[in-house]
């Protein structure tokens, strides 16, 4: 387990943290669009002292931490979506049903039980998926980047259910770390790191907002679709409330109604990424004044 927080020399909370939740290809597109829209209003998310990503948020967090303009990633999402309207247009998105049935065993409150995480890990290890290297390569050039300073991402050990946070000092290349954080059980392969296999950090929590507990200000971004909207929103709000109770100034952004409509019913439906990224940019511009007052 790696350090989860940063403190000033006097032990007090220090700096700003950006925490990006998971949500499949749709979540990646929305978070990138949101970041681009906020940037148009003068909110630079990359200025965070710490960027922590879970699943989709791991890719987005790494992309932002490199310092590349979010707007360039939005263009890439739109271009990718246009390509997928061709031969892949009729290809159905992956079936999340088996995983969701396992996740439904999660308690309404409290930590995800290690035993259940191990059960989900066993399901992931038994699934037939693409090869690990093929999955890593699917993240494009960013998988080969050097580790961005201040970036961290989450994963879960597929065998024992333990939670890990990869960061610059972990001795893990960026491609393997992002892929492990994005390894949706049953859909993508568990990723081998230091002789262990790792799955999506969202299995512990879709947001992992508690990792910001030792920062002064934390911007929490949660990918929530229409399916289970009230439950997922309540869970995200409770995690933010826990940060505030610990003395952290925290703000939450979730998709607005227009974005949720663009999402469709399956967050794994990559064909929607162009429309979702553009909708996210619109929301980012609309959120700009509120978030600038908090962040800048």
Mean model confidence pLDDT for the chain: 92
- Residue 231 reports pLDDT greater than 70: yes
* pLDDT for the residue 2: 39
- Do the strands 191-193 and 196-200 form a parallel or antiparallel pair, or are they unpaired? antiparallel
Residue spans of alpha helices (H) in the chain: 24-40, 56-65, 70-84, 97-103, 114-126, 132-137, 174-181, 229-245, 257-263, 273-295
pLDDT at 7: 40
Q: What is the DSSP string of 167-185?
A: EGGG---HHHHHHHHT--T
d(CA 290, CA 232): 22
Please list the residues that pair with 278 across neighbouring strands.
none
Report pLDDT for 9.
35
User: What is the pLDDT at residue 91?
Assistant: 72
- Rg of the chain on CA atoms, in Å: 18
- pLDDT given for residue 87 in this prediction: 58
DSSP-assigned beta bridge partners for residue 153: 53, 166
Distance CA 5, CA 17 (A): 9
pLDDT tens, position by position, 76-129: 999 988 887 765 556 788 888 899 899 989 887 788 999 999 999 999 999 999
pLDDT, residue 276, reads: 97
* pLDDT single digits (tens) 154-178: 999 999 999 999 999 999 999 999 9
Angle separating helix axes 56-65 and 70-84, nearest 10 degrees: 130
At 192 the pLDDT is 98
Q: Which residue has the higher pLDDT, 7 or 153?
A: 153
């Amino acid at each position: 387990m790696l350090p989860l927080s940063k403190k000033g020399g006097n032990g007090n909370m220090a700096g700003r943290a950006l925490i990006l939740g998971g949500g499949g290809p749709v979540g990646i597109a929305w978070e990138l669009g949101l970041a681009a829209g906020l940037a148009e209003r003068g909110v630079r998310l990359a200025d965070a002292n710490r960027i922590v990503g879970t699943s989709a948020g791991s890719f987005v967090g790494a992309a932002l931490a490199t310092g590349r303009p979010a707007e360039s990633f939005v263009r890439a999402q739109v271009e990718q979506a246009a390509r997928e309207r061709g031969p892949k247009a009729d290809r159905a998105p992956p079936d999340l049903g088996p995983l969701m049935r396992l996740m439904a065993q999660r308690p309404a409150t409290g930590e995800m039980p290690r035993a259940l995480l191990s059960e989900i890990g066993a399901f992931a290890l038994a699934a037939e998926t693409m090869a690990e290297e093929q999955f890593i390569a699917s993240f494009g050039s960013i998988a080969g980047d050097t580790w961005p300073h201040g970036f961290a991402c989450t994963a879960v050990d597929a065998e024992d259910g333990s939670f890990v946070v990869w960061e610059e000092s972990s001795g893990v290349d960026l491609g393997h770390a992002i892929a492990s954080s994005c390894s949706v059980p049953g859909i993508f392969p568990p990723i081998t790191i230091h002789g262990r296999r790792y799955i999506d950090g969202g299995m512990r929590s879709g947001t992992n907002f508690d990792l910001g507990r030792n920062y002064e200000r934390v911007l929490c971004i949660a990918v929530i679709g229409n399916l289970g909207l009230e439950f997922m929103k309540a869970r995200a709000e409770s995690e933010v409330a826990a940060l505030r109770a610990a003395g952290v100034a925290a703000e939450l952004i979730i998709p607005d109604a227009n974005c949720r409509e663009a999402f469709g019913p399956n967050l794994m439906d990559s064909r929607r990424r162009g429309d979702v990224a553009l909708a996210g940019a619109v929301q980012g511009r609309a959120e700009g004044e509120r978030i600038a007052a908090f962040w800048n």
